[in-house]
Structure 1
Amino acid sequence: MNRLPRADGTRTQMRLVVQLIAILSIAILPLGLISVYQTSNVLRETRSLSATALLQKTQSITAAERELIQSAIGAAKAISSAASVLGSSTDTCDEVFAQLVQQEARYVFAGYVTEAGELRCSSSGEHQQLSEDDVFADHQANLEPRVETRSSAVLSGRIVLSVSVPVIDNGAFLGAVWIAIPYTVANQLLTGDDQAVDLLIFDSRGEVLATETFDDDRRMSQPADMRLIDLVPGQARTFQHQNRAGVERDFAVVPIVEGIVYGLGSWEPQRSGALFGATSAIALYFPLLMWAAAMIVAYFGINRLVVRHIRRLRNWMRMYAAGRIDFSEAKLDSAPEELEVVAEAFRKMARKLSDHERRREEDLAEKTILLKEVHHRVKNNLQLISSIMNMQIRKSSSPEARTLLRRVQDRVMALAAIHRTLYTARTLSVVPADNLLKTIVGELVKVGGTEDGDRHISVSTYICPAEITPDQAVPLCLLATEAAMNAVKYAGPSHGKPAWMQVILHDEGDNIYCLSVVNSRDETAKPIDDGTPSGLGSQLIESFVMQLDGELKVTDLPHRYEVHVTFKAQEADLSSEHVDY
């Protein structure tokens, strides 16, 4: 009878889940595919437009730089090919270079440097032996024009863009024609109208020749983890990479002088304005809106069909856990059949559990009452035995017999105190040890155990609150009784003061307690024992300490005697506890 509803409910839940998955898939999948396709096309087109625009801007802005460098190389080649000019008199040669610098205002210096590093003629009329840094000896290894950034002693250490062309006669290297362009002029030519483009030019060796701004951050616009020399081979091209500042950028590389000088431009990837047009907006955002609408509808639909009913079932369970047991009138509001089956199953379960709990409480209450009655009867019987012993003590004529009977009576009263405590306690799983010890000391004083003829013993107690199990209560009470009786027996005046006794229960933390019984001693009396007690009281104390799984420490001093027992309180078993019957 119970299997059919469960199977029907499972099939109904599976159908609901399959329907929801199918509806959401049909509604979202086409829109998602369209959105992904159109977005990828838009982004690819935008990326392509951004790279193309950057390449055009880089070529446009470096055009002036290209014209300057190419004109300088052309002028140097023209002079290097006129061997008669370079081999003529110094004055004639100086005049040629002076006219070149005068005609081109962007040239700051021009001259002819021989293979030996001698400045034979120049636009400034200087003739001297150049330093090693100014020698163009590396032209011998590569007989090609060179463009580089350098400072020269001839120009008073001024940094210039140096253009040098080798002079060759019948295949022999004779020197180089050198034209110097101010570095500021080379930098200014890279300044365009578009401030978003970062530009620099570099040579075939990967050395930076000029930048827009000559500052400490001029190299931050270069591609990260890439060398400029790696960008030299090939034609004009674009790529996307992070710069050294960690920003994603578009890069464009264009040749300024093929094989000699190159330009590098970069900017942040530009997004086409068409991206934010009506068509692109619909292509990108409408599927997202549809997806969001489908999710909202699905959420509210699932919430109405399933979630709100499950939430009500959860509240029923919480109320049941909090103590409410009657759910016979609890109903779900227009819930699906499968959830109604769950609700009915919960109501049946709650009724069964409530019946079991009620019967368990009744059985526990009956058992507790019987146990308390047993403790009450045992307490009465022990008190009856104590009364009989008290009658026997009064009739006994031997002091030794009275003392022995009184010690036995104290032990019986200690047991009676335990059963009285269990009878009156609210729970049977734990026993208040402080109340037990106070009762034992009170009984000791009440029956006159601290009075011995003319001798009176002052008793003081300091007992902290503590709870122990009934299994520990018996050895602890008997232990306290034996220790207290021994203390009364051997207590004596000390330092001119009457005899005294202290009973202390101290909480050491972590459920560890220390019971101490201390009494004063007469300094002139003999020691109680030599550390190996053989009396019945001492043997009983050791036995009770073993039952407590504790540690016994005895301190025998001339003026006092101390007994310390350290033990750990056991964890109470609350399975049989019952409160407020």
Structure 2
Amino acid sequence: MTDTLKARISARRLTKSLALWLIGALTVAMLPLGLISVSQTSNVLRETERLSGVALMDRTQRAASRTQALIQEAFGAARTVAAANVLFEGGGVSCDSVLARLVKDSPIYLFAGFVDTEGQITCSSTGERRRILDESYFLNLLRDPQPRVDTRLSVPLRGARVVRVSVPVYEASDLRGFVVISIPYAAAYYTLDDGGAEVDLLVFDREGEFLTAEAAKRDDGTDVGRLEDSATPESFEEVLPRNRTLDLLAAEGRQSFRGTNRLGEIRDFAVVPVIDDRVFVMGSWAPGRNSLVPTAGRTMALYFPILMWGAGIVVAYFAVHRLVIRHIKRLQSWMRLYASGHTDFAHARLDHAPHELEVVAEAFRSMTRRLAEQDRALEEDLAEKTILLKEVHHRVKNNLQLITSIMNMQIRNARSAEARRLLKRVQDRVMALAAIHRYLYMARKLSMVRADRLLDDIIRQLVVVGDIDGTDKGVKIATQFSPVEVNPDQSVPLSLLATEAAINAVKYCRPPPSGGPAWITMALQMLDDGRVCLSVVNSRSEDPEPADEPGVTESSGMGRQLISSFAAQLDAEFEAHSEPDRYEVHLTFRPLPASTEEEDEPESEEAAE
């Protein structure tokens, strides 16, 4: 058996295994409960996620309230200055003093100034006059003259990082310039207050410009939010969401969502407008922080249905194995033993099996007892019938031998050679029948007959009595019989046919033209297609001599008629070929299927008797 066939048989047995069917049935039974549990767990996790976003948005709003008040105060001051007429009088000392007084009275302001539409600072708290027409900051103001807030490096303040608030100034619907007030970056940062919660905060405007931030500490303990002069949005990768820019978040407005930051970590994000949709605060924290459901609890809730299914399968399997499967395997082993020939199961018992399986086991023991008794009865009947059948063959053989003895006496008393020859031919046929019954009487296996042994016995018998080995002809006999089994019904016509063919071959056998003694060859072979071929070949001369006895010629055809009749009984194909130096007879027939077990040697006639 090949490995592939073994694998297929093992797979087929596995698919029909009781354990596999049990697992499938339990899976189907527990599937609704598992789906309900998964659905409820998913709803709880979604609600937890929503509450986490709401809580984050609330804390972000509260944490940015002071920053919102600071920027709103700066916008209020800028609008107040923009409304003062002193700014429209061409600047001067009075304008500078007003702005200087504003900065002095408000310690959180670093700088205040007025920039006209030409980019010229015409009035400032520091008295500076400078042209900023080429700066991108001023160009953005001209492009969109709206109140703005951003963070930049302040050139007048020697590169200090500031948060600038700008308000456009109009006169009779004409743009006159912009009032700019700068707030220290540190002041904007320290106004962020997360209330002790682990919330990372970041302030930006609607163009996506980074203003200020308050984030968690780095691994080295350095507070990122304190890096005023070098902090950029890239410094807060833990706070910023991946694939979403600040201007896009500003365009979407107030929102909360869960996503991954630029470090690939899962976090909750919340965006809250601070000032008229111009300034926004984004808060961020890890889902595990301040969560109503701890991470371990959420993970357990998610995988609980799977664990419940696995535990149910294990418990059910061991329970069924203990109560059913092991007993069924025991019954299966009993059946295999019974199939191999073991019949004594009187003391076979199951180990603490349920009542239903004990009933099955008792039924099996009762069945084996009845079958064993029936087998013994059948064996006794068979042995008795076999003895009777052997006795029949023995008596038939003795009767046939008695007939041959009587015919032998008649042959000796016959006056003519023709009568003796005819009686001898009949005697040969009777001896062939006797040989068949002698073989069946001595054989231990009566269902099949070894044709090779039977034919060899018949040929030896003919040689002994001198029918095919006459000294006047000096015929050389050669046989080649292969082991072939035939049905007893086929053995009779086959034996008689072989006898007739052998006697006819001797009758018409002549020395070959090449010289030497006459010869006869008999062969019995099994062909590749399962058929059996009996061949009888004898030598002949080119000019055959007439028959020895007058009046007896080949035209009488008695032997040929008998051979044809026996061939018809065997349902065989008969062929005869005449060559210059030999004559061939071939008989091909299909026997019944032979047994694969080797046949025992027949008993000797003396032991059988």
Change (3 A) 1:273 1:432: farther
Does 1:516 find its partner at 2:535? yes
- Partner of residue 578, structure 2: 556
Distance 1:545 1:23 in 2: 69
Q: Secondary structure at the match of 1:519?
A: strand
- Partner of residue 404, structure 1: 422
Change (3 A) 1:561 1:338: same
Q: Is the 8 A contact 2:455 2:498 kept in 1?
A: yes
What is the total number of aligned residue pairs between the two structures? 344
Offset at residue 29 of structure 1 (A): 4.7
Distance 1:506 1:580 in 2: 22
Q: Is the 8 A contact 1:368 1:578 kept in 2?
A: no
Distance 2:359 2:392 in 1: 49
Distance 1:572 1:365 in 2: 22
- Partner of residue 289, structure 1: 307
Distance 2:476 2:546 in 1: 21
Offset at residue 475 of structure 1 (A): 0.5
Q: Is the 8 A contact 1:364 1:578 kept in 2?
A: no
Q: Is the 8 A contact 1:429 1:573 kept in 2?
A: no
- Partner of residue 363, structure 2: 345
Change (3 A) 1:280 1:385: same
Report the AA paired with residue 34 of structure 1: S
Q: After superposition, where does 1:375-524 map in structure 2 within 5 Å?
A: 375-452=393-470, 454-494=472-512, 495-524=514-543
Q: Is the 8 A contact 1:372 1:423 kept in 2?
A: yes
Change (3 A) 1:517 1:492: same
State which of 540, 547, 560 in structure 1 corresponds to 2:562.
Answer: 540
Deviation digits for residues 261-299 of structure 1 (CA, Å, limit 9, x no counterpart): xxxxxxxxxxx9879932331122222112111111111
Q: Secondary structure at the match of 1:523?
A: coil
Deviation digits for residues 127-178 of structure 1 (CA, Å, limit 9, x no counterpart): xxxxxxxxxxxxxxxxxxxxxxxxxxxxxxxxxxxxxxxxxxxxxxxxxxxx
Distance 1:317 1:362 in 2: 25
State which of 34, 37, 40 in structure 2 corresponds to 1:34.
Answer: 37
Distance 2:481 2:339 in 1: 39
Q: Secondary structure at the match of 2:329?
A: helix
Q: Is the 8 A contact 2:574 2:587 kept in 1?
A: yes
Offset at residue 396 of structure 1 (A): 2.9
Deviation digits for residues 276-323 of structure 1 (CA, Å, limit 9, x no counterpart): 932331122222112111111111111111111111111111111222
Change (3 A) 1:299 1:341: same
Offset at residue 23 of structure 1 (A): 9.7
Change (3 A) 1:506 1:22: closer
Q: Secondary structure at the match of 1:389?
A: helix
Distance 2:543 2:28 in 1: 102
Report the AA paired with residue 503 of structure 1: M
Offset at residue 572 of structure 1 (A): 6.3
Q: Is the 8 A contact 2:26 2:313 kept in 1?
A: no
Offset at residue 515 of structure 1 (A): 0.5
Distance 2:499 2:582 in 1: 19
- Given the two structures, how large is their TM-score scaled by the length of structure 2? 0.51
Report the AA paired with residue 523 of structure 2: I
Change (3 A) 1:480 1:43: farther
Does 1:278 find its partner at 2:296? yes
Distance 1:44 1:365 in 2: 87
Cα RMSD (Å) of the superposition?
4.0
Q: Secondary structure at the match of 1:374?
A: helix
Distance 1:319 1:358 in 2: 18
Distance 1:578 1:556 in 2: 40
Q: After superposition, where does 1:41-52 map in structure 2 within 5 Å?
A: none
Offset at residue 38 of structure 1 (A): 2.8
Report the AA paired with residue 319 of structure 2: G
Which stretch has the larger CA shift, 485-494 or 405-414?
405-414
Q: After superposition, where does 1:88-103 map in structure 2 within 5 Å?
A: none
Change (3 A) 1:276 1:423: farther
Q: After superposition, where does 1:183-262 map in structure 2 within 5 Å?
A: none
- Partner of residue 57, structure 2: none
Change (3 A) 1:341 1:33: same
Offset at residue 534 of structure 1 (A): 5.0
Deviation digits for residues 501-558 of structure 1 (CA, Å, limit 9, x no counterpart): 0001121123201100000012221699xxx965110000000000000111000122
Gaps of 5+ in 1: 1-19, 50-102, 105-192, 199-271
Q: Secondary structure at the match of 1:459?
A: strand
Deviation digits for residues 442-498 of structure 1 (CA, Å, limit 9, x no counterpart): 111111012445211100011111000011100100000000000000001112111
Q: After superposition, where does 1:105-120 map in structure 2 within 5 Å?
A: none
Offset at residue 30 of structure 1 (A): 3.5
Q: After superposition, where does 1:49-64 map in structure 2 within 5 Å?
A: none
Deviation digits for residues 412-443 of structure 1 (CA, Å, limit 9, x no counterpart): 11111111111111211100000011111111
Change (3 A) 1:451 1:310: closer
Report the AA paired with residue 519 of structure 1: N
- Partner of residue 565, structure 1: 587
Gaps of 5+ in 2: 1-22, 53-134, 137-236, 245-285, 548-553, 604-609
Distance 1:500 1:41 in 2: 105
Identity, % of aligned positions: 53
- Given the two structures, how large is their TM-score scaled by the length of structure 1? 0.53
- Partner of residue 323, structure 1: 341
Deviation digits for residues 90-117 of structure 1 (CA, Å, limit 9, x no counterpart): xxxxxxxxxxxxx99xxxxxxxxxxxxx
Report the AA paired with residue 457 of structure 1: V
Q: Secondary structure at the match of 2:527?
A: strand
Distance 1:36 1:470 in 2: 78
Distance 2:47 2:401 in 1: 101
Moved over 4 A (4+): 20-29, 39-46, 272-276, 577-581
Q: Is the 8 A contact 1:429 1:572 kept in 2?
A: no
Q: Secondary structure at the match of 1:318?
A: helix
Distance 2:580 2:46 in 1: 99
Q: Is the 8 A contact 1:382 1:413 kept in 2?
A: yes
Q: Secondary structure at the match of 1:407?
A: helix
Distance 2:432 2:43 in 1: 91
Q: Is the 8 A contact 1:365 1:578 kept in 2?
A: no
Q: Secondary structure at the match of 2:41?
A: helix
Change (3 A) 1:437 1:44: farther
Change (3 A) 1:435 1:22: closer
Distance 2:350 2:601 in 1: 36
Report the AA paired with residue 467 of structure 1: E
Distance 2:557 2:25 in 1: 90
Deviation digits for residues 60-100 of structure 1 (CA, Å, limit 9, x no counterpart): xxxxxxxxxxxxxxxxxxxxxxxxxxxxxxxxxxxxxxxxx
